[in-house]
Amino acid sequence: MGQSDAAWALLGTTIRLAQTMGLHTERSTMHLPEYVRTKARALWSTIVWQDSLLCLCYDRPPIVSASGWPLDNSLIERQGLSYTEIMHFICRVGLDILGPEGLGITAVDRAIEYLRHFDSVHQKSQPHLYSRENCTTLKQHLEHLALKMHTSFCVSVACRPAMKQAQVQPPHSDILRSRAKGSLIDASRAFLDFQALSVVPLRSWSMVHTVLSSTLLLCMWEETRNDPECRDLQQRVIDVFSSSDSRSDDGTTSEPDSQWLSARHIRALVTLRGALDREGDPSTENENAATGSNTVPFDGNFESYLEMPNAFDISPVTYLDSIMNVPMFDFTQENGFL
């Protein structure tokens, strides 16, 4: 489901249990049969996958480490990598992105290096992952689109220094800005294509987060704010969420207390809709200026309306963080908690 907050809490418990079992290092499984060690490695790699994506989504430090199991060197050398193999590699790079900056290495130089890693592994992927024209089955289409979404999200995160820092100089600025724009558009397109084939993108916290963060950045970033193609993608994404409800996969309606989207994703969706409404109706901005209001109007069908500051005078990444990374709990309302 789209409940990324619940995923964060439950994954933390899962990681600690896995560490208690010794799944996090090859050394702690040396006494086990080979087939058990293979399963242990696969399970820990899956946990790393989930923690890496969650931490990239919310810019939080990971609690997993991939260093306990050596990287399969064949991933660097051979061709025809599968979806799972590429995702494991991408998530390892994601952990590096989340790590501390190296001495003497600028954020821009790190971003360029990450892009090289992403491009290199993509070129070694199986044909259906490299190009959708090579897909012949539904599974191949779904794998292609899922990989496109995850890779585009990671590329956009790696390129965020160019969205944060106006002083980034050419040629790096041109490269990072171009790749950032392309990745945000690709993520949005892949989501739209994916949801036309399957309900998975609307029920996966990582894909929901990817498309909402991508479309919000397209809406706020000066490079894409007035691009007709980007505006069209944003509207189509809103239409998809507006027409979707909290029905389960078997077509029945879920219980009222089973919220489909997390609060932060609802907040992002409301903000996106409000920003598009404001841009589509210039008189709204004039009315806000006359009344001293700096909020984003919203009159859609979502359950809540959230007042947000004007995003266009701050970094788009900073504004995105103010929406996506709000605390789960308001400690000021809990007397005696702190």
What is the predicted pLDDT for the residue at 167? 56
Last residue of a domain, one of 48, 70, 92: 70
Q: What is the pLDDT confidence band of residue 336, given thresholds at 50, 70 and 90? A: low
324 pLDDT band, cuts 50/70/90, is confident
Residue recorded with tokens 């399957």: 198
Banded pLDDT at 57 (limits 50, 70, 90): confident
Position 223 scores a pLDDT of 86
pLDDT given at position 281: 56
Residue 187 lies in a domain: yes
* pLDDT at res. 286: 46
Give yes or no for a contact between 220 and 316, defined as CB atoms under 8 angstroms apart.
yes
pLDDT at 128: 97
pLDDT tens-place string over residues 269-316: 888 888 887 766 555 444 443 333 333 333 333 333 334 445 455 678
84 part of a folded domain: no
> What is the per-residue pLDDT for 23?
92
| Domain hosting residue 228, numbered range | 100-244+310-327
Q: At 247, is the secondary structure helix, strand, or coil?
A: strand
**Does 249 reside within a domain?**
no
pLDDT band at 120 (very low <50, low <70, confident <90, very high): very high
Domain assignment present for 171: yes
122 and 64 both lie in a single domain: no
Tell me, what's the pLDDT at 296? Answer: 37
Per the domain annotation, does 91 fall within a domain?
no
66 and 111 in a single domain? The answer is no
**Are residues 122 and 209 part of one domain?**
yes
Mean pLDDT of 90-97: 91
Query: Considering Cα of 228, then 231, then 232, then 233, what sign does the dihedral take?
Result: positive
* 59 and 205 belong to one structural domain: no
Give the pLDDT band (50/70/90) at residue 106: confident
pLDDT reading at 254 higher than 50: no
Q: Is residue 283 part of a domain?
A: no
Give pLDDT, residue 131.
Answer: 95
Q: How far is CA 264 from the centre of its chain?
A: 13
> 111 and 56, same structural domain?
no
DSSP string covering 243-265:
H--SB-TTSPBPPTTS-SB-HHH
What is the rounded distance in angstroms from the CA atom of residue 171 to the CA atom of residue 2?
A: 39
pLDDT of amino acid 197: 96
Q: Is residue 62 part of a domain?
A: yes
Is residue 259 included in any domain, yes or no?
Answer: no
Give the residue with greater pLDDT, 39 vs 99. Answer: 39
pLDDT at 323: 80
CA 243 and chain centroid, separation:
22
Let me know whether 46 and 113 are in one domain.
Answer: no
Total-model pTM: 0.81
Instruction: Using the CB atoms, write b or e for 72-102: b if 16+ within 10 Å.
Output: eeeeeeeeebebebbbbbbbbbbbebbeeee
Q: Rg of the chain's alpha carbons, rounded to an integer? A: 21
Same-domain pairing of 17 and 158: no
Reported as a single tens digit per residue, the pLDDT across 1-52 is 446 677 888 899 999 999 999 999 999 999 989 999 999 999 999 999 999 9
Domain count, the chain: 2
